[in-house]
Amino acid sequence: MNYLHSSGLWKTGLRLFCLGLLAGLVVRPAVAQVPRDQVPPVPTFPGESPVQHELSARGYGMFLHFGINTFNQTEWSDGKLPVSSYHPTQLDPDAWVRVAKEAGFRHVVLVTKHHDGFCLWDSAVTDYDVGSSPVKTDVVAAVAKACRKYGVQLGLYYSLWDRHEPSFQDKDPEKYVAFMRAQLTELLSNYGPVCEIWLDGGWARKRADWNIPSVYRLIHQLQPGCAVTVNHTIGVHPNANKIGQPKDFAEGDVVRFWPVDFRTKDPNFARSDDPKYYSVGDARYYLPFEHTICLSDRWNWFQKKDVVPARPVAELEEIFYWGTANGNALLINVPPDQTGRQRANEVQAVLQLADRLGIRGGDKPLPARGPNLLERASVNPTNAVAAVDTSIETSWRAAETNATLMITPAQPITFDRLSLVETADMKDLGDGFSQERHYRVEGFTIEVRTEAGWNQIYAGQGIGATLSLKLPRTTASALRLTVLAASGLPGFDHIGAYDSRDFHQR
């Protein structure tokens, strides 16, 4: 069916018809097993379904936040912004996907509707959409067409929470569930294959009110190969009402929304020893994790009027390796601006990252690096364990400006790569999301202890978000980092040593 406006009355009638059609409950189908004698290109874990395996195999996607918020200098809005404010002047979804392909992304995830309820397609069940705006291009259709053109898979983000739709306020939650099912039917019926659905905003009402079993069943009826998630997927065992943090996930933690095919918790990072099995009642299910991160150095999801820096390429490389490890996936948000085009500095950043990773053009395998050879090493001072633990979201803050940290692995290591991630001071920019980062280290040295004694292998000034060093291959029994100058007490989120011979195709 072609959902184009012919009249407001026709659309209202069709809306009532669609909402009357959709309802139902199901139990999640059994998880399919992958035969142990089949060795896929991505490590397969027991209990992994084909849909989950495809998610892990994709591994690397571009997030596309674009909508009415883009034109109103805000991250979240309340569903009352005028449709007339949506007015891109050079809308070019083809270019978004072309950049994704060139930068090595395997899929895109387009924000079709955010919490404000504004839809990037001409929905039959609401007038708060592009069909009622000055620029009526069906953005979902344009992105889907470009995905087919460039060989990039299509994923869709859809907000459960809708601050515009009247039925969301109805005392009977099934009325809004019917509205959601109508919109999801449009999205999953009219645009070809959809590899994943990213549902968000589940915190806005009681978890049972979303009727996720009904939504999940509908998605898999329309798109059997589509992976489904609800953001903030995991709780804190045994409390499903409390949102779990990836740095604290433990095997058997309770699933908050069920059924789903993978976990999300934006914008956080799973540990290097990320657990994979989570509890639903007395059963445990395998769930990979998809990370989401802003390309912007200011942590904004929707583009603002002012051009802001992108994250440094060294940091993006570190994020890539963390985000795609352990069969997990990573989305990097590259949002179009008010013109409808992506900004040149952000396009340049993801292309530079692609060159650094060797995946320019999208046809080469994703790389993976080997283990951190300093992970869980002994440290002095002893309270610095967070600098070498399994999380990039824990940190150690030194007790003095001129600090020394000695790291002693259980046995000598051979390495030629070092990664230093400095702890940032965060300045809130006032919109509830955007932040500016500042760093303290102004001078430092790195020494290693070999059979010949201590030897300095690097001296530098600032470290910043990430400093990635390529060094002559060295065998050492200990490493010593000395901060010579800093504007305040220095801190580190992560220190890693790697051997480039352990780097491999994912």
Give the residue extent of every domain in the chain.
49-364, 378-505
Query: Which of these, 299, 231, 298, 288, lies nearest to 265 by C-alpha position?
Result: 231
**Residue 300, Ramachandran bin (φ over 0: left; ψ between -120 and 50: alpha; else beta):** beta
pLDDT averaged over 10-residue windows placed end to end, the chain, 506 residues: 34 46 36 35 68 97 98 96 98 98 98 98 98 98 98 98 98 98 98 98 96 98 98 95 96 96 96 95 94 94 95 98 97 98 98 98 96 98 98 97 97 98 93 89 98 97 97 98 98 98 94
For 303-307, the CB contacts below 8 A with 24+ separation are: 303/65, 303/66, 303/70, 303/335, 303/336, 303/337, 303/338, 303/343, 304/73, 304/434, 305/73, 305/338, 307/343, 307/345
3 state SS for 377-393 = CEEECHHHHHHHCCCCC
pTM (predicted TM-score): 0.90
CB distance 237 to 381 below 8 Å: no
Query: Which of these, 147, 101, 109, 59, lies nearest to 363 by C-alpha position?
Result: 101
Count of H helices and E strands in the chain? Answer: 8, 24
Count of Cβ atoms closer than 10 Å to residue 202 Cβ: 21
**Cα–Cα distance between 187 and 181 in angstroms, integer?**
10
Q: Diameter of the chain by CA atoms?
A: 85
Q: What is the pLDDT of residue 323?
A: 98
**Cα–Cα distance between 350 and 336 in angstroms, integer?**
14
Q: Locate 346 and state its tokens.
A: 């952000």
Fold annotation for 49-364: TIM Barrel (3.20.20)
Q: What is the pLDDT of residue 46?
A: 66
Q: What is the pLDDT of residue 45?
A: 56
3 state SS for 347-383 = HHHHHHHHHHHCCCCCCCCCEECCCCCCCCCEEECHH
Residue 230 β-bridge partners: 199
Cα separations in angstroms, 414 against 281, 342, 373: 45, 42, 8
Indicate the CATH number for domain 378-505. 2.60.120.260
Topology alike, domains 49-364 and 378-505: no
CB distance 214 to 47 below 8 Å: no
Cα torsion angle, 356, 359, 360, 364, sign:
positive
**Cα–Cα distance between 232 and 212 in angstroms, integer?**
14
Within a 13 Å sphere around the CA of 211, how many CA atoms are in the beta-carbon half? 20
CB distance 87 to 136 below 8 Å: no
End-to-end CA distance of the chain: 41
Query: Which of these, 144, 110, 271, lies nearest to 263 by C-alpha position?
Result: 271
Query: Which of these, 122, 201, 192, lies nearest to 157 by C-alpha position?
Result: 201
Q: DSSP letter for 411, please.
A: S
Strand-strand pairing, 396-397 and 491-498: antiparallel
